[in-house]
């Protein structure tokens, strides 16, 4: 099993994500968040009350 590293630094609604694969960032709150991962993918996540959520990968 290989090693891994993951650290998240919160700065208000902005979050910087550090991992073995690189650096990513996200912006938003609990209900709405836009994320760019270390490998370049962008995702949009919408969370609704009652446990419902919707996630879409953006181009």
Note the pLDDT tens digit of each residue in 26-46.
999 889 999 999 999 999 999
Residue 3 pLDDT exceeds 90: no
The pLDDT score that the predictor gives to residue 30 is: 85
12: left (phi over 0), alpha (psi -120 to 50) or beta: left
The pLDDT score that the predictor gives to residue 33 is: 94
Using the CB atoms, write b or e for 24-48: b if 16+ within 10 Å.
Answer: bbbebeeeebebbbeeeeeeebebe
Residue 1 pLDDT exceeds 90: no
57 with 42: CB under 8 angstroms?
Answer: yes
Q: Which is it for the CA torsion 8, 6, 21, 39, positive or negative?
A: negative
Residue 23 pLDDT exceeds 80: yes
Hey, where are the domains in the chain? 6-58
> What is the Cα–Cα distance from 13 to 59, expressed in whole angstroms?
23
Residue 55 pLDDT exceeds 90: yes
């Amino acid at each position: 099993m290989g090693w891994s590293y993951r650290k998240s630094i919160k700065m208000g609604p902005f979050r910087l994500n550090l991992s073995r694969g690189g650096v990513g960032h996200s912006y938003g709150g609990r209900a709405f968040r836009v994320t760019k991962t270390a490998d370049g993918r962008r995702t949009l996540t919408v969370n609704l009350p009652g446990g419902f959520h919707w996630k879409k990968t953006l181009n």
